[in-house]
Amino acid sequence: MKAKSIMIQGTGSSVGKSIICAALCRIFTQDGYNVNPFKSQNMSLIFHITKEGYKIAIAQAMQAQACMKEPSPDMNPVLLIPTTDKKSQVIISGKLYKEMAAEEYFKFKPQLKEKITAVYHKLSQNSDIVIIEGAGSPAEINLKREDFVNMGMAEIADAPVILVGDIDKGGVFASLAGTMLLLDEEEKKRVKGVIINKFRGSYKLLEPGLRMLEEIIKVPVLGVVPYVQHQLPEEDSLGDKQSHGVEENIDKEKQLDIIADTVRKSLNMDKIYEILEKKTDASDMDC
């Protein structure tokens, strides 16, 4: 049976997609569902080696732990490990394929789409819910051709999308509205809500902006997640060291429970369950 799915995309790198995905993985697992994470392609200097010797991004290993699962290359079928500013090792299903320059890889990408699709559907058949993470921004208009990471992946999975913006760095309203502006009409229909992440300050002062944003982008704000101090890995592409696992001296179970509790309290989970069931549409602003 095909799993339900929901996809977390962001207005850019380091907006907190990996942590929001991990929190949702833990929340749905706590609620009794068989959950798996999925990110079709990740670029990361930080990687995890599974018990079988496969390499996957450390974020997907963390999300697997949030689901109470062993990490698997099916959760991250394509991993790019940068070796220079212009070259990366291409890891496919956990094993080194070859090193490629950026332009060579871009030409190679179409050959990967069928494999990505097959791996996703295999994972879906063994899940109740799949939490899919995007990469960077879906509004990189120069990279849309042959995309299987953001909206292209949402199409493969037929997944509703929640868009995350980071308010801590400023410009969150512009980044969310600008991202929606650059999506085509079919892509916009997939976006069922947005999340404001990493908030510190007065909610009372923020609230009028949320209502104005909803009027502009025509989708609801599903919640505002406060800035949380934690020791879990964030956006992989910004990592500056290699890791062969998630064995640092921190209590990851406790950390995962903390972020899950924070996200559960901050988001309209009833609405997210509705989105998961695909019962909402872009005109539904009741949140």
Poorest-pLDDT segment among 121-130, 156-165, 264-273, 276-285? 276-285
pLDDT tens per residue across span 3-27: 999 999 999 998 999 999 999 999 9
Cβ neighbour number for residue 82 with a 10 Å cutoff: 15
As its CATH architecture, domain 4-38+113-276 has 3-Layer(aba) Sandwich (3.40)
pLDDT tens per residue across span 254-276: 999 999 999 999 999 999 999 99
For residues 96-113, one letter each, b for 16 or more C-beta atoms within 10 angstroms of the residue's C-beta and e for the rest, the string is eeeebeeeebeeebeebb
To the question of pTM greater than 0.75 for the whole model, the response is: yes
Q: How far apart are CA 240 and CA 247, in angstroms?
A: 17
